[in-house]
Structure 1
């Protein structure tokens, strides 16, 4: 018992040390975002600023169009949430309807999960270009509305819903849309919670595709705007730290409060 207790104490200590080491860069970033520029040259460097200031955050919205970047990012987030319902409808169709080629089509969709997104960017860009949607918000949003993982996740969960429940609703005269929104959606709320969290994180961090599609700075997202800080404002370290903190902190908050659902998002498909 003494040996097991010693091993457990050692593992806890090891995890605590590892956690502290992992948190140091994050704490340093948050602290540096409140430092005046002259404090970055102090030796030894400080983690907690001696003279904290909010000037770095104010300059994000004065020197850069960070408010515009924030609005664009929120638009992408909102449309991504709307895309969840398209994923849910597709998952519902694959789970509860029979149609020609259903299984082949479903396996084809699953096969796209094994293709890196970078591989499909060129053909997707060519399609968007043919539709004259380059340098538009629609061109940024449309390719990300549906995804194979979302369809797979909803389909796996909806497969467990008894078909008798749906048949009873149809006998009562309910249409398919009413069944979906009033019966199916409340049942699959856990999946919507999981998918909503993953969708927010993906949309909030969107970088490569908006950078490719948008030629106008007014369509840039927060991630793209943050990359601009490395150029013209490369020597203003406080401004860069404020931009990084502005991007990271919401994700950290979401993860802290919903980490249980995030983990379930990767395990629920194997359980159901």
Structure 2
């Protein structure tokens, strides 16, 4: 009877951690063995991003610093970043004292929120109908919406003004709100997102007895929170920053939005650099706060719609 003896582990073949192969990813670094963390391409990308970030932040920093200067320092030559006579809040005091900033801010908030909510409701319903309901003329209606994206908004100012005049809505909140409810680009974005929602989920809800609106409300909308948040932010920012239409449709000072009201304060005192920058900072401050609170939803909305290159 022959007995076979298993080979004993030696130092060369014994148990223990195997040597790491050259093609294996290093733990927690996503870099291959031998690949440098600071590769030339990575360095170039980081430098380019830093340059673009500084280029974007520099005008904002300049506006903030200028708003804390005196009018003499803001208009002095040569231009310097730091004022020789120190910083002051006189420009903000003049804007807040001479203008009705709280009322204008309230008007902007009311109109921007109303525009955002109604636009999301109308655009989402239209986008879902175009994405899921097969009706006569759907293709032509979709191409009409796409074609309306390229129409410049200033072209519609005169017809919209006569429409508001015929409806006796001039100098009202509705005159500011109604013409800004149509956003073909948002309908297009939401339609593309709704088409990515699995049909199996909607079919399962219909089997349980849910109707079309119930499926839209209970299945589609909960899955669309990231894109709805991103679209809401874009619509809100556009409505808040809109100057031309509220300036044309309102003449009552109690209905002026913040950009229009601050423009009247600046015009009353001529060209004053510090006061102009203070008004711009006050108008941009609510948008900065909104972005800081909802930046995660904006980034998630980009990634889910393919805007991020995916």
TM bin (shorter chain): 0.7 to 0.9
2:182 alignment partner, SS class: coil
Q: Whose radius of gyration is greater, 1 or 2?
A: 2
Query: Out of 153, 176, 180, which is 2:216 matched to?
Result: 180
Q: How does 1:1-272 map to 2 (within 5 A)?
A: 9=43, 12-13=46-47, 16-17=50-51, 19-40=53-74, 45-48=79-82, 51-82=86-117, 83-252=119-288, 254-255=290-291, 257-258=295-296, 260-261=299-300, 263-264=302-303, 267-268=306-307
CA distance in 2, matches of 1:89, 1:18: 38
Distance change in 2, residues 1:157/1:13 (3 Å): closer
Inter-partner Cα distance in structure 1 for 2:127 and 2:94: 45
Structure-1-length-normalised TM-score: 0.84
- On the 8 A contact 2:127/2:187 being kept in 1, the answer is yes
- Please give the alpha-carbon distance, in whole angstroms, between the structure 1 residues aligned to 2:52 and 2:131: 43
Give the conservation status (yes or no) of the 8 Å contact 2:70–2:88: yes
CA drift of 1:235 comes to 4.5
Q: 1:251 Cα deviation (Å)?
A: 3.5
Closer, same or farther: CA 155–201 of 1 in aligned 2, 3 Å: same
Does the 8 Å contact 1:27/1:47 carry over to 2? Answer: no
What secondary structure sits across from 2:170 in the alignment? coil
For residues 265 and 206 of structure 1, the distance between their equivalents in structure 2, rounded to whole angstroms, comes to: 27
Which runs of no fewer than 5 residues in structure 1 stay unpaired? Answer: none
Q: TM-score, normalised by structure 2?
A: 0.75
RMSD: 3.0
Q: Larger relative CO (CA 8 A, sep 6+): 1 or 2? A: 1
> Secondary structure of the residue that 2:68 maps to in structure 1?
coil
Q: Which moved further from structure 2: 177-186 or 8-17? A: 8-17
* Deviation readout 1:213-261 (Å, 9 max, x if unpaired): 1121222212212322441122543322211111234444555635635
| 1:148-186 alpha-carbon deviations (Å, 9 max, x no partner) | 111111111111223332233233232333322221110
Whose helix fraction is larger, Structure 1's or Structure 2's? 1
Distance 1:43 1:151, change over 3 A: closer
Q: Distance in 1 between matches of 2:41 and 2:135?
A: 57
Aligned partners of 1:79 and 1:145 also within 8 Å: no
Going from structure 1 to structure 2, the CA distance change for 1:69 and 1:263 (only over 3 Å counts) comes to same
Q: Distance in 1 between matches of 2:270 and 2:304?
A: 38
**175-184 or 11-20: bigger deviation:** 11-20
SS, match of residue 200 in structure 1: helix
